Amino acid sequence: MKGTHFEFRFRMMINMVIIVFGFNAPGSASWSAFTGASRQASLIEWLPLQLSRANLLSFAAAVPAVILFAAAFAGLAALLRVWGSAWLGPSTVINAQMKAYGVTAGGPYRYVRNPLYLGVWFMVAALAFLMTPIGALITMVLITLFQLRLILGEEAFLANQLGQPYQTYLRAVPRFIPRLRGAPAPTGRKPHWLRAVLTELTPVGVFVAFAFLSWRYDYRLMGKAILVSFGFGLLGRAFAMGSDKDSGATK
């Protein structure tokens, strides 16, 4: 079940393949153009209708409720990614190889062991609202399995490299569900917020798209905004990586 070094090295590309597949799953606009079949509604359009049919909410109430739910996922993704990156630094977050500089128990790592992987999961969950229901289901199954493989592989690597200090950390901090009480004492490491934001412009852009553009109900515009944020995210990562190396920051 553990992910390989190959999967870790190409994790960003594999995440992108999963997301692209979800957007082109059966029933999507791309699939319909290729096969001639009718296009299905996206999850953000389909779910309010199902809620109203089940008499759980009126359609007028279900639409903003679903949008707020998707925006909350996107906001949580941006929070976890920026917060986690601020404590690790771009040279660790972006690195193609697993690194074991030491146990990080500051910032979000005091409460949950894998904030960055959880951030990816929540970001993809937000994006899934723009996919067809079947595309969203397939995407979430695949991204969940892949993130779990990465987590198990990285935890095994860190346990082997860091030994007892990391074993102590594993017992103190949960893998997925944050522990708010009894968290380890924070480390002396300081967060670097500007570099973290530059590193995580993509999840920030996804949050902005859902929080502000979704109310226009122009999901094509949202998709374009997300693509733009992905482009800026690549540039931001390159700049943050260079700044991180120039500063000589330790992780």
Q: What is the pTM of this model?
A: 0.92
Encoding tokens for residue 214? 């979704």
d(CA 37, CA 75): 35
pLDDT tens by residue, 2-44 = 888 899 999 999 999 999 999 998 888 777 767 766 778 899 9
Is the pLDDT at 251 greater than 50? The verdict is no
d(CA 183, CA 141): 31
DSSP labels for 97-136? Answer: S---S----SGGGGT-S-HHHHHHHHHHHHHHTTS-HHHH
Q: What burial letters (b/e) apply to 109-145, b meaning 16+ CB within 10 Å?
A: bbbbbbbbbbbbbbbbbbbbbbbbbbbbebbbebbee
pLDDT score of 249: 41
CATH number (1.10.287, 1.20.120, 1.10.3470, 1.10.8) of 5-247 reads: 1.20.120
pLDDT tens by residue, 171-230 = 999 999 988 777 777 776 788 999 999 999 999 999 999 999 998 888 889 999 999 999
pLDDT tens by residue, 35-87 = 766 778 899 999 999 999 999 999 999 999 999 999 999 999 999 999 999 99
Q: Where are the domains of the chain?
A: 5-247
Q: Tell me if 74 sits within 8 A of 122, measured CB to CB.
A: yes
Encoding tokens for residue 78? 């941006």
Q: Is 201 helix (H, G, I), strand (E, B) or coil?
A: helix
